[in-house]
């Protein structure tokens, strides 16, 4: 099976742009969709990006997703950072059995 590797933490200032990476260890990143979840302390996760780059209704367009075949990674980009964006972010994809595989999560600090 493969692993999804994320940076443990990132930080950026309000109003700036931050990108969180999610690198697949084996197999192509493009072979299965990638989702991104936001989890605030004490709350359940919510989906902010699905199917690589789609935003659920209600998620601001400051959130965007992409995949890069050359680095075999997916990215979540948040522009115009707000303090409310401070949270843990997880990427997720599927293995050959359609089971979910999560990245280890990235703590975003907006300072």
Partner 1 sequence: QVQLVQSGAEVKKPGASVKVSCKASGYTFTSYYMHWVRQAPGQGLEWMGIINPSGGSTSYAQKFQGRVTMTRDTSTSTVFMELSSLRSEDTAVYYCARAQTGTAPDYWGQGTLVTVSS
Mapped onto helix, strand or coil, the DSSP state of residue 29 is helix
Which secondary structure element, helix H or strand E, spans residue 9, and what is its range?
strand 9-12
Cβ proximity to partner 1: between 83 and 97 the closer is 97
CB of 16 to partner 1, least distance (A): 25
Helix (H) and strand (E) counts in the chain:
0, 10
Candidates 13-21, 62-70, 73-81, 100-108: pick the segment binding partner 1 (CB under 8 A).
100-108
Helical H segments across the chain, by residue range? none
Site for partner 1 in 73-92 (CB under 8 A): 90, 92
Closest CA to 10 of 78, 101, 93: 78
- Contact between 26 and partner 1 (CB under 8 A)? no
Binding positions for partner 1, rule: CB under 8 A:
33, 35, 37, 39, 44-47, 50-51, 56, 90, 92, 94, 97-105
């Amino acid at each position: 099976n493969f692993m999804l590797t994320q940076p443990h933490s990132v930080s950026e200032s309000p109003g700036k742009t931050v990108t969180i990476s999610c690198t697949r260890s084996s197999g192509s990143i493009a072979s299965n969709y990638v989702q991104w979840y936001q989890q605030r302390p004490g709350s359940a996760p919510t989906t902010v990006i699905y199917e690589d780059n789609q935003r659920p209704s209600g998620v601001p367009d400051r959130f965007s997703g992409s995949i890069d075949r050359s680095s075999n990674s997916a990215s979540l980009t948040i522009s115009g950072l707000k303090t409310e964006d401070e949270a843990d972010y997880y990427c997720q994809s599927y293995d050959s059995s359609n089971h979910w595989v999560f990245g280890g999560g990235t703590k975003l600090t907006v300072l």
